[in-house]
Structure 1
Amino acid sequence: MSKNYDMVVTSGGIGPTHDDITYQSIAKAFGLQLKLHEAAYERMRRLSKPHKSQPDFSWDTPSAALTAKKRMVELPMDEQVADEEQVVFVSEDLWVPVSVVNGNVHILPGVPRLFEAMVDGLKPRIRPRLTDPEGQGALRILISTPMAESAVAGYLTQLAAKAEPRGVKVGSYPRWGKDHNTVTLVGRDSEFMESLVPEVEAAVQGRRVAVEGEDDADMSDKDS
């Protein structure tokens, strides 16, 4: 993925337990070693507080808990790349680093609140790399369909083969517990995309909507 995309983001698997293996897995994939990042470790010591279930924990005394905590700052490191290009701290009050591998693989935590804060903190680093940072040049068309994803999968595969060479991405999103799912067309070739709408509406027995759920109320009215 690193070769095929400008930016790759992983989420989760960087905690202190045995099943948190994202750092190890990515290090192995890129032929790198894990190293204790001293600056990240210092920030962890300064900014994090021991859990109330560990009243006797000490940063200066070897223990299983200390070893587990250090796992969270043992990062994949490339000796040929400057440290500041591999480890990014997005905020003065967060010790968790963003580990960057191969220049574009960004390893983030899975906790939603923390993930969101760190992505927000990465904006100054990311925005200069975007050709359309505000998304003003992209068009997104939503088509609501009463059909199951499995029922439209074959058609969408054919549609994607036709649309993607024109820079148009075809997506399908289930809406759990609702009567309609959503098919999306995203791209910049508005004329071509608009020409696809009647075909897609017919193929998925749906209609274009401005926002997801727009026709949920219509169905409720019909059922009442």
Structure 2
Amino acid sequence: MGSPAGADRVTAGVLIIGDEILSGRTQDTNLRDIALYLGVHGVDLAEARTVPDVLEEIVAALDALRSRYDYVITTGGIGPTHDDITADAVAAAFGVELYEHPDILAMMQARWGSELNAARRRMARVPVGGELVKNPVQGPPGFTIGNVFVLAGVPMIMRGMLEDVGWRLRSGAVVISRTVRVEGSGEGAIAAPLEAVARNHPQMSLGSYPFFGDGGYGSNLVLRGRDPAEVEATVAELIGALKAAGVETLREVEAPPGA
């Protein structure tokens, strides 16, 4: 079900860029890391898209996301090769030119000296009006312009860059997550009480996540909301509704990672 609503909700979209992701050659791990990082800052990841290395498609997706959400984070496409066109696409979306940032050029000159070739200089290009996002791991920094943050696709570098993003975000109320574990009952048995409780609490997010294994089967029912009192009351109401429906083997457990 949907994310917890509320006037204090701050939202973000993620744009994952790269043919290698769509082809399956590279498995994306950045989305989960970004979602968890944003959650700590009270920002809901509301949508994620993956697009190929095609300028028009990057621009179209970026325009859609940045007009819909408070923030957009892009990953990938800021390296030195011909298909690294994220900077070009972001500049096109904002209607500005690219220029070689002197601070990035100085970093590159210190690192590569006479080996600073045209391909590497591509990584120094930043849209006019953009600001740098620090890269504490290796290589050139990312950048931000408007409500868009442009980060590397390499997971370790992306995670490092995220640390220079958090302080720039307008934080919303952090989401509280609680999990009720139901064992030995399928989703068909719990659907009606879960739906009834969800209707009574439209500001909450209630989701059912089945599990199967040697130890049996059941569902983790995850409740998410911003109001601690409402979260507490909803957990109690859900447990009561499940027991009234004949579901007896249940207990509250620690929320699974990312819930």
- Whether TM exceeds 0.5 here: the answer is yes
Displacement of 1:106 after TM fit? Answer: 0.8
The 1:4/1:180 distance shift into structure 2, 3 A limit, reads: farther
Which position in structure 1 is the counterpart of 2:27? none
**CA pair 106-160 structure 1, distance change in 2 beyond 3 A:** farther
1:130 is aligned to 2:171: yes
Q: Indicate which of 41, 50, 56 corresponds to 2:105.
A: 41
**Correspondence for 1:117 among 139, 160, 179:** 160
Shift of 1:114: 1.4
1:77 paired to 2:128: yes
| Cα 1:107–1:209 shift into 2, 3 Å | same
Partner residue, 1:98: 142
C-alpha contact (below 8 Å) 1:40/1:95 kept by paired residues: no
Change (3 A) 1:74 1:182: farther
Aligned position for 2:151: 108
Deviation at 1:177, TM superposition (A): 8.8
Partner of 1:28: 92
d(CA) in 2 for partners of 1:17, 1:10: 18
Of the structure 1 ranges 170-179 and 9-18, higher mean CA displacement relative to structure 2 is found in: 170-179
Per the TM alignment, residue 109 of structure 1 is displaced from its structure 2 partner at its CA by 0.7
- Using the alignment, how far apart are the partners of 1:171 and 1:121 within structure 2? 32
Q: CA deviation at 1:107?
A: 0.7
Provide the C-alpha distance between the structure 1 equivalents of 2:82 and 2:194, rounded to a whole number of angstroms: 40
**Partners in 1 of 2:85 and 2:163 — Cα distance?**
24
Could you say what secondary structure the match of 2:256 adopts?
coil
Alpha-carbon shift at residue 182 of structure 1 (Å): 5.1
Query: In the alignment, is the contact (CA less than 8 A) between 1:13 and 1:21 conserved in 2?
Result: yes
Which one has the largest radius of gyration?
1
User: How far off is 1:123 after superposition?
Assistant: 4.1
Distance change in 2, residues 1:195/1:99 (3 Å): same
Task: Find the counterpart in structure 2 of residue 142 from structure 1.
Answer: 179
Query: Compared with structure 1, are the counterparts of its residues 17 and 140 closer, same or farther at alpha carbon in structure 2 (3 Å cutoff)?
Result: same
Structure 2 residue corresponding to 1:9, chosen from 64, 73, 78: 73
Distance 2:120 2:133 in 1: 19
TM-score, structure 1 normalization = 0.57
SS of match in other structure, 1:72? helix
Letter of the aligned partner of 1:32 in structure 2? V
Residue 27 of structure 1, CA deviation:
2.2
Classify 1:87/1:160 alpha carbon distance in 2 versus 1 (closer, same or farther; 3 Å): farther
Q: Distance in 2 between matches of 1:38 and 1:16?
A: 17
Q: 1:87 aligns with which of 117, 126, 132?
A: 132
Q: Distance in 2 between matches of 1:163 and 1:24?
A: 45
Paired with 2:212 and 2:71, the residues of 1 have a C-alpha distance of 29
Change (3 A) 1:37 1:130: same
Higher share of residues assigned strand: 2
Using structure 2 for the length normalisation, give the TM-score: 0.51
Consecutive unaligned residues of structure 1, counting only runs of 5 or more, are 51-56, 60-65, 214-224
Cα distance in 1 between the residues matched to 2:157 and 2:124: 16
Shift of residue 117, structure 1, vs aligned partner: 1.7
CA deviation profile, 1:27-59 (whole Å, cap 9, x unmatched): 222223222222212212223x59xxxxxx733
The counterpart of 1:186, out of the listed 202, 218, 224, is 224
Counterpart code for 1:71: R
> By how many angstroms is 1:122 displaced?
3.7
Gaps of 5+ in 2: 1-64
